[in-house]
Structure 1
Amino acid sequence: MTESKKKLQSKYMDIVLLLLSTWTFFNYLLPGNLSNIILFASIIVLVFYITLNYKQVIITSNQLLVILITFSLIFVQIISLLYSDYVESTIYRGYLINSILIIGILLIAYGHWHKKAIKYMLIFSIIHTLLTLFSYVFPTGFNTIILPFLPNHIKIDIIWFMSNGFYSGITNQISINAFYISVGISILYSTILAKSKKSSKKEILFLAVLFIALLLTGKRGHLIANVISMMFIAGIYTNIKGGNFMGKMLKVVILLTSLLFAIIIIFPEAASPITRFLEKQDGDITSGRTDLYINALELFSQKPLFGWGTGTFANIYGTGNHNIIFQLLSENGIIGFVTFTVFLLFNFIYTIKKLKNNYYYGNKENDRFYLFSISTQIFFITYGLSGNVLNDEYILMVYVIAIAIPYRLQVLKNNKFITHQ
């Protein structure tokens, strides 16, 4: 392949990644039609890109297997149309989920894209982080300079959150903002962890800044998911290097606890996620989630095999399920739950296995990408126990991009090995 063709392909893929990153991190600002068009356009561009380079497409057995599992998930969404009582919602939610899964399949199939994807996600996460801090430190300036550029319904939500001591940045929900910041934390922490030399003070300070912004959102679920994912990847990476898994996790807990206390002392408002654990809404620390779980189990008991159809829970109860297990059981039944569980576990086990292989082969440059993938998967599962990771499509998109990374890295490693042979 000529150098000019490689550059052209790289620019072509940059456009795709920029579209996907824009859709993921700024979807709340886009009209519904434009958002759907961007998602559909991304699929078309990826298909066209792969078609032009079909001779270079190499599908390994593991790639083929995960693609087949993914297609089974897509099939589950499609067949739910046959029995759903809320066809419009099922079509809409099914379209979003299936589109993201298809994008994942296409990313797995071809392209040297992982570095640019991580770069774009980090940049957009930083934007949300800085705007969150700006709204906290200079609220008047934020209201004067930033808010006029935002849609009215988003302005109203931002002002309401700020008046109650929570900071949603330029988003209309603190949970959205917390996730975008969490992506940056995962990327930066994975990079720091994978470094063979000690990290610079600048990187550690930057990580602290991201944590300050996360705490200002007041989202306890995101805080817990971040801490657990950070503990796990530190422990598993130490274990791979021959160290003590539990010892490393304990060290991370101590360091994070110290960091959190230091931040809270300097920024008292950052204690919101901690104090919310002590607050009870009508005696329920789960903020009403218990009733949602009971409702989901009741729906599941009525249609245990296939469920009620994708997207139906929110139609019946006016809110998301806030638990991936109960949502899958109530909407897609045992079939959907088992299929998605296989999907999660297969990707998780595969990524850890490839991280081990990558470290043993001495290619430490890619460790940070594997660690980011594992961190995102842990976050997805952990936060999924209290959040709407399937209804919040931006979370699913980041997860799909993250799980596609190890499959592409494996193909690139194999190609490099063959070339050297």
Structure 2
Amino acid sequence: MLENQIEGTKGSDKSLILSFIWIIFSVLYVLFINTINIFPSIYYIFSSILLFVFILGIIVSTKINISLSFGKFFWIMYSIVIIMGSFFSINQELSIKYLLSYLPLVVLMIFSENIPIQIFNFIVPSMVICTGVHVFMNLFFLIQPEKQINILMKLYTGKELMNAVNQTRASFLVGITSDIGQNAFHISLFMICMFALLLTKTNKIVSIISFLFGLVLLIGTTKRGLMAGLFASMIVIILIRSRKNIKRFFVYSVLLIFFILVGWYILNNLEITQVMIKKNIDYSGNILNGRQYIYASTLNAFNQHPFRGIGVNTTQIVSSGNDAHNIYLQVLAESGVVGFILFVTAITCGLVQGIKELLKAEKSKYETIIIFSVSYQVFFVVYGMSGNPFYNNSLLATYILCLMIVHIFKKKKDEDCSYD
């Protein structure tokens, strides 16, 4: 019996080490490898690498846990629908490329309960460090703008370099990425981490100052959809945490108003934010920036194939090379009515379960990571109304990671009846 215990301990140690490697690799991928794309060959196979390391960790562990929640069930059903739909896709190559990234992530989520809970203590600090590098480089380029293009030329070539340089010369903030949207994602993720730390840690000054720096930079990217998602996530968390405490609600409301006023001041007094104002009146004053034409093309594709859809990741074929800039319309067109219902139900289940876990985790040592998970889920859902987070590897991988956080902490709560 003693030998079995020793072997079990060694297996747990190996599993812990491999899980730690997996978490670090996933964070690095989301925030660096996919962003800078120095290694484009792993763009579509990174999740397979993640899955390999993860399964290896399960093999050396002493036991395997699988629980099928409603959320997991609907993700599995949605996955089956888009796999079947890929056989009838209008472009099977595009559909298969997406499935190579998407399906391993779903498998990871299904087996998420096998990750040691200690590992999740590293997620927010890792995110802060990695996104902090992006934030620092953005601030550095504001001070030393002449050095940005030289650095970008060392990171990119071809179309990506041209895109990064053109956006930089047009006064958009791209940081060390090649696209303002990707840069805005990193800044938003940094701000979500700072907001979670602000609510749960005693040293709030650093979090407030860091958040304000992020706000300035996010405005500079001109990405209004990400701003909407960020502030929506903050409002949801504030409402949840202050539901029984009027004083806390007042304090959080004052804090939120303060951030809004600071943002308004920045918007009206910094030259760089005038780029955003100009963007809002482009396309003959249409705030949709021409997306109504993309929406019309996407809906037309849905009307042609309302039940089976046109195949995952193929909207760009019917909308002149563009994604739908609305994940709900795109899922509707690509996977049909059934796939759309399963998708919406799946993301709703994840968010509802996340909120339940947050209510249970208040004032516990795990509150920060669960606030991060719920905040990002709200951000993902809201930004999805005007962007493509479900079709971007970085944003999708982060979303799946947040679902995994919910599952692993639900398991701990069910087993221990407590987060302590």
TM-score (norm 2): 0.89
C-alpha displacement of 1:267: 3.8
CA distance in structure 2 between the aligned counterparts of 1:254 and 1:121, rounded to whole angstroms: 26
Aligned residue number for residue 162 of structure 1: 168
C-alpha displacement of 1:11: 2.5
CA distance in structure 1 between the aligned counterparts of 2:228 and 2:308, rounded to whole angstroms: 32
The answer to whether the 8 Å contact 2:310/2:334 transfers is: yes
Q: Give the partner amino acid of 2:53.
A: V
Q: Give the partner amino acid of 1:208.
A: L
CA distance in structure 1 between the aligned counterparts of 2:114 and 2:79, rounded to whole angstroms: 17
Which 5+ residue runs of structure 1 have no aligned equivalent?
none
Aligned residue number for residue 191 of structure 1: 197
Query: Residue 12 in 1 paired to residue 18 in 2?
Result: yes
CA distance in structure 1 between the aligned counterparts of 2:409 and 2:294, rounded to whole angstroms: 40
Which 5+ residue runs of structure 2 have no aligned equivalent?
none
C-alpha displacement of 1:139: 1.1
Q: Give the partner amino acid of 1:256.
A: F
Query: Residue 105 in 1 paired to residue 105 in 2?
Result: no
The answer to whether the 8 Å contact 1:236/1:245 transfers is: no
Aligned residue number for residue 333 of structure 1: 336
CA distance in structure 2 between the aligned counterparts of 1:386 and 1:166, rounded to whole angstroms: 19
Query: Residue 40 in 1 paired to residue 48 in 2?
Result: yes
Q: Deviations over 1:203-253 (max 9, x none)?
A: 2111111212212212111112111111221121111x4338986775354
The within-5 A match list for 1:97-176 is 97-112=102-117, 113-144=119-150, 146-153=151-158, 154-176=160-182
C-alpha displacement of 1:109: 4.0
The answer to whether the 8 Å contact 2:183/2:221 transfers is: yes
- In structure 2, relative to structure 1, the CA distance for the partners of 1:135 and 1:157 (3 Å cut) is farther
C-alpha displacement of 1:118: 2.4
Q: Give the partner amino acid of 1:225.
A: G
The answer to whether the 8 Å contact 1:220/1:274 transfers is: no
Equivalenced residue count is 409
- Taking only the aligned residue pairs, the percentage that are identical comes to 22
The within-5 A match list for 1:91-102 is 91-102=96-107
Aligned residue number for residue 408 of structure 2: 408
Aligned residue number for residue 366 of structure 1: 366
CA distance in structure 2 between the aligned counterparts of 1:281 and 1:108, rounded to whole angstroms: 48
The answer to whether the 8 Å contact 1:264/1:270 transfers is: yes
The within-5 A match list for 1:191-230 is 191-195=197-201, 197=202, 199-230=203-234
Tell which deviates more after alignment, 365-374 or 335-344: 365-374
CA distance in structure 2 between the aligned counterparts of 1:222 and 1:288, rounded to whole angstroms: 18
C-alpha displacement of 1:269: 0.9
The answer to whether the 8 Å contact 1:58/1:411 transfers is: no
Q: Deviations over 1:45-93 (max 9, x none)?
A: 11121122251x4445xx4433322211221221012211211111112
Tell which deviates more after alignment, 201-210 or 97-106: 97-106
The within-5 A match list for 1:25-64 is 25-26=31-32, 27-28=34-35, 29-55=37-63, 57-60=64-67, 63-64=68-69
- In structure 2, relative to structure 1, the CA distance for the partners of 1:419 and 1:355 (3 Å cut) is closer
Over aligned residue pairs, what C-alpha RMSD do you find?
2.5
Aligned residue number for residue 398 of structure 2: 398
Q: Deviations over 1:356-407 (max 9, x none)?
A: 1223xxx522222221111111111111000011221211111111121122
- In structure 2, relative to structure 1, the CA distance for the partners of 1:296 and 1:265 (3 Å cut) is closer
Query: Residue 286 in 1 paired to residue 288 in 2?
Result: yes
CA distance in structure 1 between the aligned counterparts of 2:179 and 2:418, rounded to whole angstroms: 48
Q: Give the partner amino acid of 1:137.
A: I
Aligned residue number for residue 357 of structure 1: 360
Provide the secondary structure at the position in 2 that maps to 1:281: helix
CA distance in structure 1 between the aligned counterparts of 2:10 and 2:113, rounded to whole angstroms: 24
CA distance in structure 2 between the aligned counterparts of 1:91 and 1:314, rounded to whole angstroms: 15
TM-score (norm 1): 0.89
C-alpha displacement of 1:5: 5.7
CA distance in structure 2 between the aligned counterparts of 1:419 and 1:104, rounded to whole angstroms: 21
Q: Give the partner amino acid of 2:173.
A: Y
Aligned residue number for residue 68 of structure 1: 73
C-alpha displacement of 1:342: 0.9
Q: Deviations over 1:86-132 (max 9, x none)?
A: 11111112222222222222334433222222222222111111111
Provide the secondary structure at the position in 2 that maps to 1:333: helix
- In structure 2, relative to structure 1, the CA distance for the partners of 1:10 and 1:326 (3 Å cut) is same
Provide the secondary structure at the position in 1 that maps to 2:187: helix
CA distance in structure 1 between the aligned counterparts of 2:250 and 2:294, rounded to whole angstroms: 38
Aligned residue number for residue 254 of structure 2: 251
The answer to whether the 8 Å contact 1:16/1:45 transfers is: yes
The answer to whether the 8 Å contact 2:197/2:207 transfers is: no
- In structure 2, relative to structure 1, the CA distance for the partners of 1:284 and 1:411 (3 Å cut) is same
